[in-house]
A = this chain, B = another copy of it.
Amino acid sequence: MPKIVDHDQRRQEIVEVTWRFIAREGIDKLNLRDLAAAAGYSNGALKPYFPTRDALLEATFNFVADATNKRVEANAMRLRGALAIEAFACEVLPLDELRINEARIAVHFWNLALAEPELAAANAATMDQWRTWLDRWLGQELGERHAQATFVRDSLINFLMGAQVSSVLDMAANSGQSLVDQLKYHLQMLNRIK
């Protein structure tokens, strides 16, 4: 009997190599030959695991989104109110090398999503998730049905998305410390509208 490979695990490995590659080089530089080489294989070896380039990209984006979500679930779900919001935002904000790379991938992803409705839908689903979480935590903090809860929620999300972009494009002007300060300002404003 032949060499046996755990296909799911192999797929996982490939996806991890892919996301690192994209974070480092960008999607435009990603071709299947170089990627296979980076994963330690040769030209056609990835095809059995991902039939097309697009399938691989989609899996990679899902992987990154999942990683963020899992961190949120691990660190924010057990908290309430403003503390939960802070923990959530800290998992999303690009404060360390890992999350900066995730932000880079996110920007690439948004660009692709402009042309592919399926990717845009995947993104919209994540945003829905975020809104649901924030609604709960803002409800705990401000009381249910606070008049401004919706604006606060959406502007916080927009702030987080903008931070992903600016931290990656204009790193000098957007240190982690600066982002944390901005987040604190947002949270402080929460107290003022209570």
Contacts and interface: CB of A to CB of B under 8 A. Distances in A.
Interface stretch (A7-15, A72-80, A108-116): A108-116
Contacts of A174: 154
Interface stretch (A42-50, A57-65, A137-145, A180-188): A180-188
Contacts of A189: 189, 192
Nearest to A154: B182
Contacts of A113: 169
Interface in A167-186: 168-170, 172-174, 178, 181-182, 184-186
B115 A173 contact: no
Nearest to A163: B158
A185 B151 contact: yes
A20 interface: no
Contacts of A108: 111, 114
A114 B104 contact: yes
Contact of A161 (B152, B162, B184): B162
Nearest to A160: B162
A169 B124 contact: yes
A68 interface: no
